[in-house]
Amino acid sequence: MKTHFQLPFPVNYVGECIRTVPYTDPDHASLKILARLMTAKFLHTEIREKGGVYGRGAKLGHNGIFTLYSYRDPNFIETLQSFGKAVDWAKSGKFTQQNIDEAKLSVFSSVDLPVAPSDKGMDDLLYGFSNEMKQAYREQLFAVSHDQLTTVNNECGRRGFLWYLDIGKSTHGLAVLGPENAKIAKDPSWIIR
């Protein structure tokens, strides 16, 4: 589903979401690391530096929604093309072990934040995440390798995590908030509101 919400903004706000796997699935850790890698090593250069977008990135929620986004985007058509190129970049494995280690450090900085006394137990209450589950997730994050990040299908026949990001293979949605656009108006695959 692709929806363009026409609003009187001079720039666009873009979100592309792909359903992947929840926090409890072993592939979630690899997708989490990949989101940080894509943000720092691909999307920053392609969308921020070349495209002039104010903000951009990739992120993965506990629920397994993998999101590519941009905001204050003057060239959203090119940004959407860059989102597709980001997945191709990930499949190509054009990142180093140092890049992976930096992405892990970035992810761990948010995973291991100190918890305020008033928030203790909230993950368990809201999401059902026990301390054991969180520790297992930390270990999965730590174990993410270059091979895991570039595998589309593994030798056991189980789909690799990059399979989730292939457009058309999973539930996928796209929304743009911004001014009228002639290219979108001519494309029948877009819903304009």
pLDDT for res 148: 82
pLDDT for res 155: 41
pLDDT for res 48: 86
The hierarchical CATH code for the domain 2-192 is 3.30.830.10
Q: What is the pLDDT of residues 48-98, one digit of tens each?
A: 888 788 889 999 999 999 999 999 999 888 999 999 898 888 888 889 999
Alpha helix stretches (DSSP H) within 5-153:
27-38, 76-92, 97-111, 122-127, 131-143, 146-150
pTM, two decimal places? 0.85
Residue 12 CA to residue 184 CA, distance in Å, equals 13
Grouping H, G, I as helix, E, B as strand and the rest as coil, residue 174 is: strand
Q: What is the pLDDT of residues 35-49, one digit of tens each?
A: 999 999 999 988 888
Nearest to 4 by CA among 186, 142, 179: 179
Domain boundaries in the chain? 2-192
